Structure 1
Amino acid sequence: MKKKLLCTTIGMLGFMIGSVSAQFSRPVSVGAGAGVAYNLTDLANVEAKFAFYGEADYLINPFISVGLHGEKGTLSGNGHNSEFENRYFAGNINGKVRLGQFMGQARNYSYYTLQANTFERILSNVYVGAGAGLVKNRIKRQIDPLYVEAIANQGGELAEDLGEIHFVVPINVGVDIPFGRTLYGPQWAINVNYQHTLTTNDNLDGIKNKKNDQYGFVSLGLKYALFNRK
């Protein structure tokens, strides 16, 4: 009995997801954009620097997606007569959930896109997300000997590997603003996003101290939906 109930439940969930997806003719989107990245590291005087990204997303339904994100930028900071620059590469796999998932939208997504007003369409595409990935450091640094001594007194040290690869957890909040609306949903979207990346290693600035480093990335981008229904 329990086995039958489990199979029935799984089948119903699969049918529901399939029904929603069938109303959305563009299950894959690609995007690119740019912005500024800033570090939260031991050298606390932050210098916001240029960064850019490319990404691809697969829509499980119109409001839940999984995707790949690649990023290149520069983190820079100074203080204590010292400075660093990290021309990093990063990549991650992530998932996002949009507010539309909880707004009781019509099952017929095509009908919804034609009937909803501009505010509702934008609000339904506000999202939060998280993922997992890697960052590759390319660090250059100039550290004052007195600061090295101060770090050592606090139990820290200078990192030996300035090209280290380590695990990161990106957290995202943002909005997709759709335009180019068609019968089957928007063709384009402007993306505004803030990504806060948590690292598992205190080495974005070449200095290892007590707390793991973090960085933020504010970006503006453009998305294009692929595979239009014929």
Structure 2
Amino acid sequence: MIFNLLRATYITLLLVFIGSFSFAQSNYFKMSYGFGGGINKSYTDVYKGSFGYTAYGVFDYHITPFVTLGLEGQYGMVQGGDIETDPHNRQFVNQYTSITANVKLMLGEVVDYDKSEFLYNLRGLYVGVGIGVINNKITDIVRIKPSWAAVDPGYGPFPGKDKSLNMAVPLNFGFNYYINDGYGYMRYIININAQSNFTFGEGLDGYNDPSTKFKNNSPDVYNSYTIGFKYMLGRIKSYRKTL
């Protein structure tokens, strides 16, 4: 009888341990892909930027549910200036494509959100950085000032290239909203992202004017503001926290 009691106690403790261990862990999919789009605005050597558009596709590898390595491809239009209102009568339109590798760190990786509903709801908040290239294709640009320009009519041509390849460094700040599937796994993600893209070179606006005459002492930048959708897939891996 004592043996049966010990065996029953052992089995009970084992089940409690297994249940507690299972509760403290969750499973997640190791990969995701997605797409989205939004608007962008340029900040270049041209006096005033304008709004354009950005569309993207992304593939991520999830080191954990809240740390990702990914590739992002973009296609869009960046523009700036106005031939009538710009001080130098400059304007440009760039139909660009880019590809970057990036890493993102979410709040859920560094905080104990299990004990706070507020932190749990914010666990998808993230920052990120990347590196890659942008392919610039200038489709419209003012190379020579118009004859009616107030200053130096007919001046030109403004130096620069219509096609170029530059290094790009994106900085990301965003939020992932997770949606579970019917089995309780994190499967779908709605993504909101703000991205600053620093480009190194003079290809984004197509102008490469000497700094002695024009302000030309900082990287050309375009900021994009997008919303997108991601789908998680692939092999399942365990995570130390409850998801």
| TM-score class normalised by the smaller sequence | 0.7 to 0.9
Structure possessing the higher radius of gyration over alpha carbons:
2
Tell me the number of residue pairs that the alignment of Structure 1 and Structure 2 aligns: 194
Letter in 2 for 1:74: M
Matched, 1:101 2:109: yes
Provide the rounded CA distance (Å) in 2 between the counterparts of 1:123 and 1:45: 36
Distance change in 2, residues 1:55/1:147 (3 Å): farther
Any idea what SS the aligned residue of 2:29 has? coil
Contact kept, 8 Å, 1:58 with 1:65, in 2: the verdict is: yes
Alignment of 1:1-230 (within 5 A): 23-78=26-81, 79-80=86-87, 81-104=89-112, 117=117, 119-139=118-138, 140-145=140-145, 158-159=159-160, 161-181=161-181, 185-209=185-209, 210-211=216-217, 212-227=219-234, 229=236
8 A contact 1:148–1:158 mirrored in 2: no
- In 2, Cα distance between equivalents of 1:131 and 1:34: 19
* Cα contact 2:190–2:230 (8 A) shared by 1: yes
More helix by share: 1
Shift of 1:148: 10
User: What TM-score do you get using the length of structure 2 for normalisation?
Assistant: 0.72
* Alpha-carbon displacement from aligned partner over 1:127-171 (angstroms, at most 9, x marks no partner): 000010000001120144379979x9xxxx621x21101111110
Q: Mark the runs of 5 or more structure 1 residues left unpaired by the alignment.
A: 1-21, 106-111
| Structure 1 residue 116: Cα displacement | 7.4
The question of whether the paired residues in 1 share the 8 Å contact of 2:31 and 2:233 is answered with yes
Amino acid at match of 1:97: L
SS of the residue 1:208 aligns to: coil
Query: Which structure 2 residue ranges, 5 or more long, are not aligned?
Result: 1-24, 210-215, 237-243
CA apart distance, 1:174: 0.2
What is the alpha-carbon distance in structure 2 between the residues aligned to residue 84 and residue 23 of structure 1? 51
Contact 1:93 1:132 in 2 (8 A): yes
> Runs of 4+ in structure 1 displaced over 6 angstroms?
146-150
What TM-score comes out, normalization by structure 1 length?
Answer: 0.75
Residues in 1 aligned to 2:182 and 2:151: alpha-carbon distance in whole angstroms: 60
Give per-residue Cα distances to partners, 1:3-24, cap 9 Å, x unaligned.
xxxxxxxxxxxxxxxxxxx843
Task: In structure 1, give the amino acid aligned to 2:76.
Answer: G
Kept after mapping to 1: 8 A contact 2:130/2:171: yes
SS at match of 1:158: coil
Query: What SS is found at the alignment partner of 2:49?
Result: strand
Q: Distance in 1 between matches of 2:151 and 2:220?
A: 18
- Percent sequence identity is 28
Moved more, 23-32 or 212-221: 23-32
Contact 2:199 2:221 in 1 (8 A): yes
